[in-house]
Amino acid sequence: MLAGATVLTLLVVGLLALAFRRRAREDTTKESLWIGWLGVTMPILVLIVLLGSALMLGERTIVRSISGVVVIEATGRQWSWEFIYRSRDRTTVTRDVLHIPAGQPVVVRISAVDVIHSFWVPRLAGKIDAIPGQVNVLRLQAAQPGSFEGQCAEFCGRGHSAHLFRVISHDEVGWAAFERGEQP
């Protein structure tokens, strides 16, 4: 972004210098056309690059390109969180408790069904909003097994103060048991 901003700044400064240096001639159509052409072409090129990078780095591409990463769906509602774990042979749903494997990255696909919520586990990752009709992606990782407190960090109604959840990070044995459907 810094390189792009630098190029754009230099281009604007160059065009400004060109405009100030322009001699008071009768026939300035050639320079005016050149400056006008750049004024139309440059924004179009920038938009094409931004659109291309957005499509390449979209959340679906990121999730699909990471192999072996656990993907969990989190849905916020007043005043609870539902977590869905999908594998080839089973789907597991938990309420207000997010189970993750320790020592490996986890992708959480976050959405909401009623109002805007905010998914926040202070010791594992930053905040991200859960917005109805939209899926936001958060990547988190617990270095070691343990229990971590999470909360909704966006005021979502009268029960907001109790809109809490817990993240349990399992070792390899505990995670394998959870995936098989056994109680950890």
Higher pLDDT residue, 44 or 67? Answer: 44
pLDDT digits (tens, 9 = 90+) for 91-148: 999 999 999 999 999 999 999 999 999 999 999 988 999 999 999 999 999 999 999 9
% of the chain residues with pLDDT over 70:
80
Residue 64 has pLDDT above 60, yes or no: no
Same domain, 107 and 154: yes
Where in the sequence is the domain holding 133, given as residue range(s)? 66-180
Confidence of residue 13 (pLDDT cuts 50, 70, 90): confident
Query: Whole-number mean pLDDT of the chain?
Result: 83
Residue 166 has pLDDT above 90, yes or no: yes
Q: How far apart are CA 130 and CA 119, in angstroms?
A: 7
Same domain, 149 and 89: yes
**Structure pTM?**
0.64
Same domain, 107 and 144: yes
Phi and psi torsions of 169, nearest 5°: -100, 120
Same domain, 90 and 170: yes
Tally the domains of the chain.
2
Confidence of residue 27 (pLDDT cuts 50, 70, 90): low
Same domain, 84 and 147: yes
Confidence of residue 60 (pLDDT cuts 50, 70, 90): very low
Mean pLDDT across 147-164: 90
Torsion of CA 21, 35, 42, 39, to 10 degrees: 110
Q: How far apart are CA 86 and CA 122, in angstroms?
A: 25
Same domain, 145 and 128: yes
Same domain, 91 and 20: no
List Cα–Cα distances, 106 to 9, 17, 97, in angstroms: 39, 51, 15
Same domain, 51 and 75: no
Q: What is the CATH number of the domain that holds 166?
A: 2.60.40.420
